[in-house]
Amino acid sequence: MSTIDGLPPLREVIAAHGLSAKKALGQNFLLDLNLTAKIARQAGDLSGFDVFEVGPGPGGLTRGLLAEGARRVLAVEKDARCLPALAEIAAAYPGRLEVINADALTVDLAEHLTPPIAVVANLPYNVGTELLVRWLTPPAWPPVWHSLTLMFQREVAERITARPGGKAYGRLAILAQWRCEARIVMTLPPEAFTPPPKVSSAVVHLRALPEPRYPADPAVLEKVVAMAFNQRRKMLRSALKGLDRDIEAHLVAAGIAPTERAEQVSLERFCALARSLAG
């Protein structure tokens, strides 16, 4: 069977290298190269980009990224068993794929890649949210990356892109949407993966905005939002009462009724509240 890049089909790669999936590493592999090329395309035209990929595994998405024209791919994989399979891909694309055997949580993008940088990954579910939060909270904005195109469990993807007024809306939505445009660009059923996970998945595309949508001090905003959603069923005047003696006045100044709950408050009004508290 011929493939997009002339390398063997992924089932053969997995068999040849004994890559039985390990649950502890969140290994749910994508074996359909047409699908991985489609996911790579969700990141936009990658021809001028350095791509950072977390968890290449047997390399299905990596091959999609290279076939779709990424300038260079840096792939960080924790499982050393995958390295020989990835070395075969590197040999087929001379000078374009570098693989690091490490925990992605310890790798600093800026140290290894040259902008513009796109992050593209089918994330291991156990560290996915932690990685996203790190990428969304760099020391300064705009971040070193241009966009993040990431596969999550669908429920997490819905929390990232949620609008006010529902259960999915919370800290993750505010953190993501304050300084990025975030949308779900694909949903995938469990059967798209080997082995299939228990739940559906979705690809989220986040594009960094040059500036936050509304001004606010990041630390103040984070504190307000964390407190507000930690007690999401309480009215804000009581959920936030530890923040300031005059919390009701600050809420009113931000256009928020003290009796509202966190779930009902837009990003714009949370930013106004953070400004009022900081001012």
Contacting ligand SAM within 176-205 (CB under 6 A): none
Compute, in degrees rounded to 10, the torsion defined by CA atoms 2, 8, 14, 16: 130
Q: Which residue is nearest to ligand SAM (CB)?
A: 55
Distance CA 250, CA 279 (A): 10
Q: Which stretch in 24-32, 214-222, 248-256, 262-270 sits in contact with ligand SAM by CB under 6 A?
A: 24-32
Beta-sheet pairing, 193-194 with 201-208? unpaired
- Considering the rule CB under 6 A, would residue 60 count as an interface residue with ligand SAM? yes
User: Does the annotation place 122 within a ligand binding site?
Assistant: yes
Closest CB 118 distance from ligand SAM, rounded Å: 15
**Other residues' Cβ atoms within 10 Å of the Cβ of residue 11:** 13
Residue 49 is a binding residue for ligand SAM (CB under 6 A): no
Binding residue for ligand SAM, selected from 13, 14, 29, 256, defined by CB under 6 A:
29
- 114 vs 126 by CB, closer to ligand SAM: 126
Q: Determine, following the binding rule CB under 6 A, whether residue 270 of this chain makes contact with ligand SAM.
A: no
What's the angle, vertex CA 196, arms to CA 190 and CA 197, rounded to 5? 75
Long-range contacts of 243-250 (CB under 8 A, 24+ apart): 243/277, 244/277, 250/276, 250/277
CB count in 10 Å sphere of residue 85: 23
56 binds ligand SAM (CB under 6 A): yes
* Token pair in block for residue 170: 């919370």
Q: In this complex, which beta carbon is closest to ligand SAM, that of residue 127 or of residue 239?
A: 127
Instruction: State in angstroms the smallest separation of the CB of 123 from ligand SAM.
Output: 6
Amino acid sitting at position 243: L
Nearest to 273 by CA among 202, 221, 199: 221
Separation CA 194–CA 178 (nearest Å): 35
Stretch that binds ligand SAM, among 48-56, 111-119, 203-211, 221-229 (CB under 6 A): 48-56
Told to check if 153 binds ligand SAM by CB under 6 A, we report: no
**Quick one: which of 33, 54, 188, 206 contacts ligand SAM (CB under 6 A)?**
54
34 appears as a binding residue in the annotation: no
Please identify, using beta-carbon distances, which residue of 13 and 173 lies nearer to ligand SAM: 13
The answer to whether the beta carbons of residues 14 and 21 sit under 8 Å apart is: no
Cβ-in-10-Å burial (0-12, 13-18, 19+) of 56 comes to: buried
| Of 51, 86, 127, 251, the one binding ligand SAM by CB under 6 A | 127
Residues that bind ligand SAM (CB under 6 A): 25-30, 54-57, 60-61, 76-79, 103-105, 122, 124, 127
Please enumerate, by residue number, every residue annotated as part of a binding site for S-adenosyl-L-methionine: 28, 30, 55, 77, 103, 122
